[in-house]
Amino acid sequence: MELKRIVITGTGVISPVGNTTQEFWSGLLSGKSGLDTIKGFDTEGHRCTIAGEVTDFVPTEHMEPAAAKKIDRFCQFAIAASNEAVEEAGLKDSSIPAERIGVLIGSGIGGLATLEAEVEKLITKGPRRVSPMLIPKMIGDMSSGIVSIHHGFKGPNFTAVSACASSTHSIGEAFWIIQRGDADVMITGGAEAAITPVGMAGFASMRAMSTRNDDPQGASRPFDKDRDGFVMGEGSGIIVLESLESAEARGANIIAEFIGYGATADANHITSPAEDGSGAAAAIEMAMKHAKIDASEVSYINAHGTSTPMNDKFETRAIKAVFGDNAPKIPISSTKSMTGHGLGTAGAWETIVCALAVKNDKIPPTMNYTTPDPDCDLDYVPNKARECKVDVALNINLGFGGHNATGLVRKFK
């Protein structure tokens, strides 16, 4: 099968590091941390009291007040990020039929804040006080639905839910939708807003989160020997994928080319990745096969790099399994050291990082890397951004349930 060329023509970001793509990118290159003590709710009694909250976000700057009231915070993030991406891609003034523009935005958790608030009403005030908007505000597909309604896009529309791999799966499936001719443009990525009392308590009870509460900015330390868990983030990353034919026909700005996607399962454990990294390795190899590139052509990896003891060790094994003797030569970074783990939007943020890395020949650092781990002995671009030639960038994301998703981005030529 001869694949069409698919390019990225727009991006949008809401994140703890910045609420535009430029703020996000500049912040990452400078090593800016978006992690702090939680301000959104009272954390008394919680094991983990730190997170990457989105600040300075005013929903009504991005949508009508009436619309903002009817949707959960994760959907508000999705609309705001999509506004930026759509504007950068020049879709507002394009002649592309609405039926040829689809939306596929992933979320691992959905409207958790809405669910919590309405459960409290149920318990304290009774079932008749539960909002009729509970279900449409809570369900995870609503980010795709509300973005299509907001912009009037009528093409393929659904949601991928695969925990922390959700947005990378969304981007990959959007890629295939364009490949098979069902759309010319896809608005894709992820959105998440799970920094809530139940969300934080649930992950902390699993012992998955860092408890370095007295050092929020130093708590997320991927691949470092002293890592003790992830720090949660929130926000949205949106990408406009478009066939090269469509982009060139309308003279669109082209940021990078999306060339390959891999999706596999570990079939191993509900939360732990496969110890040998075989599932992630297979997803990397699948993406390279679709892209028709050799492992030697990959010049940067944005790792899943959650800062949990198991993930970082097993992911390192996956990278070694695919790249062999060349693995130590490839710059690898985990931007979760600054954004926190965005769960269902992590892969979208990190695909945007890959696109900007190949466009600008710059690699963000892995912050807080101070003590090398013998099990994690590759080049993690410690603590300082790096300028170097980046032609092909790989993004890796892994989700609870054994879900593995990878994407490949190449410098547009």
Question: All domains of the chain, ordered by start, with CATH?
Answer: 7-249 (3.40.47.10), 260-410 (3.40.47.10)
Q: What pLDDT is attached to residue 192?
A: 98
Average pLDDT over residues 183-191: 98
CA distance 346 to 109: 12
Report whether pLDDT(1) > 70: no
Q: What pLDDT is attached to residue 3?
A: 84
Report whether pLDDT(20) > 80: yes
Average pLDDT over residues 234-249: 98
**What tens digit of pLDDT does each residue of 362-405 get?**
999 999 999 999 999 999 999 999 999 999 999 999 998 889 99
The 3 state secondary structure assigned to 299-329 is: CEEECCCCCCHHHHHHHHHHHHHHHHHHHHH
Report whether pLDDT(2) > 90: no
Report whether pLDDT(132) > 90: yes
What is the gyration radius of the CA atoms in the chain, in angstroms? 20
Report in angstroms the alpha-carbon separations of 198 from 137, 204, 229, 284, 369. 17, 10, 18, 34, 30
CA distance 279 to 268: 9
Report whether pLDDT(298) > 90: yes
CB atoms closer than 10 angstroms to residue 280: 30
The catalytic residues are 164, 304, 341
**What tens digit of pLDDT does each residue of 202-234 get?**
999 999 999 999 999 999 999 999 999 999 999
Closest CA to 162 of 303, 344, 395: 344
**What tens digit of pLDDT does each residue of 24-51 get?**
999 999 999 999 999 999 999 999 999 9
Residue-averaged pLDDT of the chain: 97
Please give the angle made by the CA atoms of 246, 407 and 230, to the nearest 5 degrees.
135
* Percent residues over pLDDT 70 in the chain: 100
